[in-house]
Amino acid sequence: MKIFNTLSRRKEEFIPLEAGKVRMYVCGPTVYDFIHIGNTRPMIFFDSVRRFLEYKGYEVNYVSNFTDVDDKIIKRALADGVEASVISERFTEECKKDMEGMRVRPATTHPKATEEIDGMLEMIQVLIDKGFAYEVNGTVYYRVKRFKRYGELSGKNLDDLISGNRTLLVTGEDEKENPGDFVLWKPKKEGEPYWESPWGQGRPGWHIECSVMSKKYLGEQIDIHGGGEDLIFPHHENEIAQSEAVSEKPFARYWMHNAFLNIDNKKMSKSLGNSLKVRDIANNYDLKVLRFFMLSAHYRSPLNYSGELMEAAKNGLERIENGLVRLRDEAGKCPAGKATEQGQEALQGFRRRFEVAMEDDFNTADAISVLFELIKYANTLKPEETVREDWDILRQTALELGDILGIGEPKAELLDSAIEALITERQEARKAKNYARADEIRKELAEQGILLEDTKDGVKWKKA
């Protein structure tokens, strides 16, 4: 398996730190509003990376944080007249709902920055003690000149940044030793959340958060660190500087970054008014379509979002799902019999080509093409001319490969008559005081998107 490593700027053979295990950290969103479409590309892509690694037999410890203390959160809280925690907690939960809609599995751990302050204070103190950081008037800065490899990930030269690109640097040059030094801890301002520290009341800088959370939940060294390419500098560059200054070990073996997303061939930005929220997309599409669209291009290739391309993604996904439904519904028509050598050779060919695509820097676009071909092959087969075991293995193969991409068999919709029959059974169960069965039926219906409401006029139902 080969991964393009941003640090070396080439594909490298994947060799984990510990055989059979993968430690993986992906930077999550800042939760001050509903997530926008740009947030979803790393969420979706790295979810499929994790799924494929697990498919290959690795035990994956996958950590993705929520940044729940930030200038944007504070600004939103002040505007709404509430505590910053109210904003961050609300939009963390809303983000999780969108992730579920996109079939993004929960990470092994979803740490929150505000719950890891003690670790940040400890790491900052170590950096000060080692001479990598210093305090001025309650602000703690990192000395970038002290870290000899600063700029290696991004390919930026520190002297050039200082002399010609001050717009990339953090403000406050007057009290810094060097204009390139970045903030580890900042003093509180009126109306902002704060924590006690040896340097006064304040809050952490953004970069230290991920270094601390990665170290706590994955250890000093990790296998894969991922995120959007906009995070390469300064965020990931600063993470390396902080983490390696403390541990004196290489922080991450493989750095992976997905390319930018455009909207109708224009860079997405608030200033252009084309920042598209996931909730806006959900008004027109099932979010599984958004997932399929995101994976239809290689993650390192720029991706353009448009209505036309989303329609194409919807049609493509439906072709695969319809094929999966056919495999399910017509299985009973197959005569009994053991799998044939010819049938299994064909399936192994599809499986291997799918794996080759994913093992080549997680090429989901090529993997989807293989899945299309598998479904096309399945559609040429007639159940009555195929033995049952061949059919079952074909269906299982399609489901396994589809699951890596987050594609599954759509649930069969219940007919109104079937819904009414279950409601009647539930009523009878309640009369018999069999509340466990009654609750089970309500849950079954809820999983099918059917919501029940007990009223004085009887049970009413509606589709969610």
CATH at 355: 1.20.120.640
Q: Is residue 231 part of a domain?
A: yes
pLDDT of residue 414: 61
Select from 355, 373, 404 the last residue of a domain. 404
Q: Are residues 243 and 363 in the same domain?
A: no
Q: Is the pLDDT of residue 201 over 80?
A: yes
Same structural domain, 195 and 72:
yes
Per the CB < 8 A criterion, the answer to whether 24 and 255 are in contact is no
- 168 pLDDT tier (thresholds 50, 70, 90): very low
CA distances from 446 to 145, 333, 428 (A): 58, 31, 19
- State the pairing for strand pair 21-26/222-228: parallel
Q: Are both 167 and 246 inside the same structural domain?
A: yes
Kindly state whether residue 336 falls inside one of the protein's structural domains.
yes
Q: How many domains does the chain have?
A: 3
340 vs 58 pLDDT, higher one: 58
189 and 69, same structural domain? yes
Domain end (from 258, 289, 323): 258
Q: Which residue would you say has higher pLDDT here, 461 or 301?
A: 301
- Helices 287-295, 37-55: inter-axial angle, 10-degree rounding: 70
Contact 199, 135 (CB under 8 A): yes
Confidence of residue 165 (pLDDT cuts 50, 70, 90): very low
129 and 41 in a common domain: yes
Residues 396 and 423 reside in one and the same domain: no
Co-location of 379 and 421 in the same domain: no
Report pLDDT for 411: 74
Residue 221 lies in a domain: yes
Report residue 462's pLDDT band, with 50, 70 and 90 as the boundaries. confident
Token reading at 179: 């204009």
Interacting residues of 189 by C-beta distance below 8 A, sequence separation 6+: none
Please state, in angstroms and rounded to a whole number, the distance separating the CA atoms of residues 94 and 77: 16
Give a yes or no: residue 411 inside a domain: no
Within a domain: 409: no
Give residue 317's pLDDT band: very low, low, confident or very high (50, 70, 90): very high
Which of 48-57, 112-121, 233-242, 324-333 shows the lowest per-residue confidence on average (mean pLDDT)?
324-333
Same-domain check for residues 246 and 347 = no
First and final C-alpha spacing in the chain: 42
- For the purposes of burial, counting CB atoms within 10 Å of the CB of 200, is it exposed (0-12), middle (13-18) or buried (19 or more)? middle
Structural domain span for residue 39: 2-258
119 within domain boundaries: yes
| Whole-angstrom distance, CA of residue 240 vs CA of residue 244 | 6
Q: What CA–CA distance (Å, rounded) separates 108 from 217?
A: 9
- Of 235, 258, 281, the residue at which a domain comes to its end is 258
Identify any residues that bridge with 37 across adjacent strands, giving them in sequence order. none
Q: What crossing angle do the helices spanning 388-404 and 307-329 adopt, rounded to 10°? A: 150
Residue 264 lies in a domain: no
Percent of the chain whose predicted confidence (pLDDT) is above 70? 95
DSSP run (H or E) holding 459: strand 458-463
| Residue range 351-360: mean pLDDT, rounded | 98
Whether 395 and 425 map to the same domain: the answer is: no
pTM over 0.85? The answer is yes
Residue 218 has pLDDT above 50, yes or no: yes
Please report whether residue 422 resides in a domain: yes
Q: Tell me, yes or no, whether 136 and 249 share the same domain.
A: yes
If asked whether residues 225 and 329 sit together in one domain, one would say: no
- Check which CATH number belongs to the domain holding 63 and give it: 3.40.50.620
The answer on 6 and 149 residing in a single domain is yes
Q: Which two tokens stand for residue 16?
A: 């984990």
59-64 and 133-136: which strand pairing?
Answer: unpaired
pLDDT of 416 strictly over 80: no
